[in-house]
Amino acid sequence: MKKSVKMYISLLLVFMLALVPLAQHESPHVQATEEGSELVQQLNQLLNNDPILQGGLAGVSIRNAKTGELVYDHIGDVRLRPASNMKLLTAAAALETLGKNYQFTTELLHTGSIKGKTLQGDLILKGKGDPTLLKEDFDAFAAKVKEAGIKVVHGNLIGDDTWYDDVRYSTDLSWSDESWYYGGQVSALTASPNEDYDAGTVIVEVYPAEKAGHEPIVKMVPETDYIKIVNNAKTAAKGGKNNIHIERDHGTNTVTIEGEIPVEGSRSREWISVWEPTGYALDLLKRSLAEQGIKLKGKTVAGTAPERAKLFAEHKSMPLKELFIPFMKLSNNGHAETLIKEMGKVVKGEGSWEKGLEVLEEQVKAFGMNEETLVLRDGSGISHVNLIPANEISKLLFEVQDEEWFSSYLNSLPIAGDTDRMVGGTLRNRMKNSNAAGNVKAKTGSISTVSSLSGYVRTSSGDELVFSIILNNLTESDKGKVIEDKIATLLADQ
């Protein structure tokens, strides 16, 4: 062979070898088991071609639930906004730090002495973070005062919320979220309107009057003087449109109602957050005392219980393993942020977001997550600054399976297609009539431009998988659910 020909062949081989890394670079960033190769192709087809994801980011991480081995990884190490998948971290840290049987405590204290039927001192309601206090619990406190023979409180009714700091909102909460239940203020002393336990909120209901042109009827649950209603709405003729709008004015407890509701039309209802929940809780107790015939001579004020104060009565919340049902099934932001502050108080001695997030970071690191790749700003995921890779969430979900409290954790997750609100939760209307129904147990997440779903799935062949799907930069976050449901159903079909 001539020298020139040999040189040509050598150059050709070098050129061909140089192309190999380029071809490898163009293939999807996927790690897959041999058995998962068909699944990998199906997932690649979906993620690369679905128009919903055009211009967006899809972090997808799937693991074998027994070994933790990655079955599929699509940009799984890229930090993305998790939305309410952040609650998976908060819940795990709270169960590990506080314990599944942990209960919040609220105390009713008094100063001075009881002389005859009069308390010659102050009555003090000391909150320690309980987000589950209902009107009936304040009624029970008032009944204890009555049982002691007291008919007059000569001093003040004081609300002590110093168990936590006085910062009411997490760092990145948008002002536009403040009026709504999911953006309610966090206080150590608060109240909820019903057994969803949206702490620091009231339910405002608007019903049509009997005749058109009249003011609609407004009701509140619970009834409270803490909220002032400005009713600018009208009852419209039968058959008209309902366009009632209910919103609290910023920095006040004035709720304004606008729009029209037709005669015989369905009610309109909103969960509205209050400004300063401590005063709200005090107002409910004041009403309960009055209903028991107990007169308050002093004022209703915020303050601090003195060390000499004596215990009148104590209320304990349900344990965390029960509270986690409304917390995780319904994705309750207030519960998440309260747990952050409670962890800070119990572990660091300070009920603040700063200290609580320190505890959260320490705990997730202990669960094997790489804290150096995380940005954690709150406990609920409402922040657009939170950043977590999908691989880190799937790693957490794998690792916690061995924890003593895991059954409580798993039980708190929404179950696909189960129409019972406290079982199916935020997945109750999703993936019905598919193999995913009943077999996908996962936490949903949604904020503007973000949708997420992470949890566990039992496949048709009986295998268990751990998965995390985080979709960012969507033009419509609700459309992300379509992708998530396709992936989860695809996993359940395996």
Measured CA to CA, the distance from residue 487 to residue 459 in angstroms comes to 12
How is residue 164 written in tokens? 């936590």
Please write down the HEC assignment for all residues of 221-276.
Answer: ECCCCCCEEEECCEEECCCCCCCCEEEECCCCCEEEEECEEECCCCCEEEEEECCC
Determine how many CB atoms are found less than 10 A away from the CB of residue 145: 23
DSSP calls for 11-72: HHHHHHHHHHHHHHHHS------GGGHHHHHHHHHHHHH-GGGTTSEEEEEEEETTT--EEE
How is residue 29 written in tokens? 């960033």
Distances 233 to 253, 260, 270 between C-alpha atoms, Å: 18, 6, 15
How is residue 398 written in tokens? 């794998």
Residues 6+ apart with CB under 8 A from 431: 416, 417, 437, 440, 485, 488, 489, 492
SS3 160: strand
Preceding omega of 222 cis (within 30 degrees of 0): yes
Helical spans, DSSP H, in 368-443: 390-399, 406-411, 421-424
Measured CA to CA, the distance from residue 119 to residue 309 in angstroms comes to 13
In 281-355, beta strands by DSSP E: 295-296, 300-302, 310-316
How is residue 414 written in tokens? 């929404």
Closest CA to 452 of 474, 423, 424: 474
- Is 461 exposed, middle or buried, given 0-12, 13-18 or 19+ CB atoms closer than 10 A? exposed
The set of catalytic residues is 84, 87, 331
